[in-house]
Structure 1
Amino acid sequence: MAKFAVIGLGKLGMTVATTLYENGAEVIAIDTDQKLIDEISGNVSVAINMNSTNEKALKINKIQDVDAVILAIGNNIE
């Protein structure tokens, strides 16, 4: 089973994370917004509220063990 980390749960990150999970992947969803973590928590393997620039937190949560990291952080261009 493929294992992914999706960092950033805006429109893109939320869609990517849930689609991967629905297709059988193990998905770790990461964001600093607890509302987004609560929203996605039943639709991914693990949802974590953390700052993705915190190297120690990334190691504790074993992000280095995933097959791929999808970075979906950015500003809304609309």
Structure 2
Amino acid sequence: TVKNYLMGNFLSMIDGPFNWAETLRTLFAEHLSIDYLPALVEEVKSIDAARLQQLAQTYLQEEDLWTVVVGERPT
């Protein structure tokens, strides 16, 4: 599910000292407090499918997306 993917992604962000340092650097650069992290986890855990679809429709516009093809173009 999307929730599992996001939670796994979050866990990888804080797995190990270098990832944790990079996460802290990003928080600092974005002017976010350390409290943002647990709030993010709670938001992901509590979001439902309808809200997630609403967010996707708001922020993911087809004209802003790219298609990347790797390898030879099929003939």
Structure 1 or 2, whichever has the larger Rg, is 2
| Structure that is richer in helix per residue | 2
Query: Same fold by TM (over 0.5)?
Result: no
TM-score by length of 2: 0.25
Structure number with higher relative contact order (C-alpha < 8 Å, ≥ 6 residues apart) = 1
TM-score by length of 1: 0.24
